[in-house]
Chains A and B, each alone.
Chain A
Amino acid sequence: MTIWRRRPRDDSYLILATTLFLATAAGCTNISLRDAADLANVGTKAARAYALAILQTSGSLDQFVEAQYLTAPLQHLPEPDLAPPEGKVNCSGRDLSTGENIECIKEALDARRVMLIKLADLYSSFGALTSYNAQQNVNEALTDLSGSIDQFAQALGQPGMPAGADVVSADVGGVLASQIQKRKVKRASKAIRQRLEVIIPLIEKERATMESLQRVLVQDAGVTAVVLYRNGIGAPDPILANNIGTFGLSYEPGSYSHACETLRGQGREECMHNFEKGIREVVLLRAKRRARDQVAVIDSNAAAIKALSDAHSRMEDGQPINLALVTQQLMTLRTIVDDLNSSLKANQ
């Protein structure tokens, strides 16, 4: 009987001791798993967005090569030597043809795309780590343990675990598992941040090159359109409709072909020349605008990746993280991509 009266106090002491012992073994960390999950989500999106932008640049390079073949005869240029070489190019070589150089650029872009996809994958795993239900596993294990203790107590001829002790123990285990999970998340966060610290300078270093490539590819697409138009291919109807329809006038498709009809001789020739020049200027202006947007995409991507690193540091220090900057960059990116898509649709 004495044992029964004293037992509850002894168990409370032991449970407390267990808690302290295991909590010390785990080492407490105060990071927020919710922040970590948000960071994982935004990190995945940012890395994927950048990878997609690189993929688009690579696609634009293919289009550039095709355009060179298309416009060279129209511009009295020699046939370009830009076809992809057979076999693997040794990109460390110095005396490569332009076709080989372009192939190497595509390979280099692909390497960066893969790197960013790996980063996105890493963030996905990080997200899984933040949401893994460790507590449930520990509770199950502790319930199993209680059964063993009861058997052990019976073997000693003593009463088993008091009612309610399982729950308390399970909760103790749950708290502990959460701490272990947080510690793992913190360690993973540090590992990702260390990689970001290598990736960010690389992105910064190459930003000027990526932006330059975008400007050139987009401008050349505009030049190609102009060359084709000058040679009687393509109609400027959408441009004219955009500009005439705003103030109540309507544009009849194909009516541009009647431009300057009222004039005769040299006056008509000059009018046609000016009309064509105007269309050309608009196309090139649009190309410049699109190039600027594409450069903004690169800037937004670079800024988003950079902001992630700061968020990791803050989270690891147990401070609340602010993902507003990354989210803002991603929204800017979304807006730019939407604008690009709508302008492409409008031109179709």
Chain B
Amino acid sequence: MSYSPDEILKAIETLYRNLDENFDDIYAGCKTDDQRKTLRSTFVASRDAYFKAVKENLCENNPLVDKITSDLNNTNQNIAADLQGIQDIVEFIKLCSAAVQLAASLAKLAAAA
């Protein structure tokens, strides 16, 4: 049976949270120095494993996040440019209108003829 990264993280989280929340009680229950030493190293190892797992999960997607951020930046610039682009459209309309009005004037001349 294979586990998903989320399931693996959940299992590591559960171990760490249980040890974290109950550490003092477990520690108080230890009878020997060896037991206490083992508990201490187990607790620290579970904390280390947890943050390693979180890091792996998040950093795995980092290149994608960087790409999206850069992509958003470009899109933002394109949209900002669109705001300026309206001016060009006006020029285009001007040109078309001038052409049509020229045709209108010519049509008037034709009608007068």
Contact = CB atoms under 8 A, between A and B. Distances in A.
B57 interface: yes
Contacts of B112: 2-3, 158
A242 B109 CA distance: 93
Interface string A61-83: 00000001000000111101000
Contact of A195 (B50, B51, B75, B85): B75
Interface residues of A, number: 84
Nearest to B9: A212
Contacts, number: 204
Nearest to B45: A98
A141 interface: yes
Contacts of B6: 208-209
A227 interface: yes
A68 B107 CA distance: 88
A223 B107 CA distance: 89
Nearest to B90: A141
Nearest to A159: B108
Contacts of A202: 61, 64-65, 68
Contacts of B75: 122, 191-192, 195
23 contacts: A2-B112, A3-B111, A10-B104, A10-B108, A68-B47, A76-B36, A101-B52, A101-B55, A115-B69, A141-B94, A142-B93, A142-B94, A169-B97, A177-B93, A192-B75, A198-B68, A202-B61, A202-B65, A206-B57, A208-B10, A209-B57, A216-B17, A216-B20
Given A14-B107, A104-B59, A212-B9, 19 more contacts: A3-B111, A14-B103, A14-B104, A76-B27, A91-B62, A101-B51, A115-B68, A115-B69, A121-B72, A129-B83, A132-B86, A144-B94, A156-B105, A169-B97, A184-B85, A188-B82, A202-B65, A219-B20, A223-B23
Interface of A: 2-3, 6-7, 10-11, 14, 17-18, 21-22, 25, 68, 75-78, 80, 91-92, 96, 98, 101-102, 104-105, 108-109, 111-112, 114-115, 118-119, 121-122, 125-126, 128-129, 132, 134, 137-138, 141-142, 144-145, 148-149, 152-153, 156, 158, 169, 173, 176-177, 180-181, 184, 187-188, 191-192, 195, 198-199, 202, 205-206, 208-209, 212-213, 215-216, 219-220, 223, 226-227, 230, 284
